[in-house]
Amino acid sequence: MPPINPKFDTTPIVVFGPSGAGKGTLLQKLFAEFPDRFGYSVSHTTRAPRPGETDGKEYNFTSMEKFQEMGVKQVANHPTFPRPRFVFISPPSLEVLEQRLRGRGTDKEEDVLKRLEQGKKEMEFAKSGGVNPKVVVNDDLERAYKELKEWVVGKEA
Ligand X SMILES: Nc1ncnc2c1ncn2[C@@H]1O[C@H](COP(=O)(O)OP(=O)(O)OP(=O)(O)O)[C@@H](O)[C@H]1O
- Chain contacts with ligand X (rule: CB under 6 A): 17, 19-25, 100, 103-104, 138, 140-141, 144
| Interatomic CA distance for residues 126 and 133, integer angstroms | 7
Report the nearest approach of ligand X to the CB of residue 56 (Å): 15
Report the nearest approach of ligand X to the CB of residue 108 (Å): 13
Report the nearest approach of ligand X to the CB of residue 22 (Å): 3
Q: Which is nearer to ligand X, 69 or 140 (CB)?
A: 140
Q: Which is nearer to ligand X, 10 or 42 (CB)?
A: 42
What are the distances in angstroms from CA 59 to CA 23, 24, 39, 42, 54?
13, 11, 15, 6, 7
Helices assigned H by DSSP within the chain: 23-33, 64-77, 94-104, 109-127, 141-153
Report the nearest approach of ligand X to the CB of residue 70 (Å): 18
Q: Which is nearer to ligand X, 23 or 149 (CB)?
A: 23
Q: Which is nearer to ligand X, 48 or 76 (CB)?
A: 48
Q: Of all residues in this chain, which one has the CB nearest to ligand X in the complex?
A: 24
Q: What angle do CA 35, 13, 151 make, to 5 degrees?
A: 80
Type of residue found at 150: E
How many CB atoms are located within 10 Å of the residue 148 CB? 23
Report the nearest approach of ligand X to the CB of residue 122 (Å): 10
Q: Which is nearer to ligand X, 55 or 140 (CB)?
A: 140
Query: Helix, strand or coil for residue 54?
Result: coil
Contact of 92 with 140, CB cutoff 8 Å? no
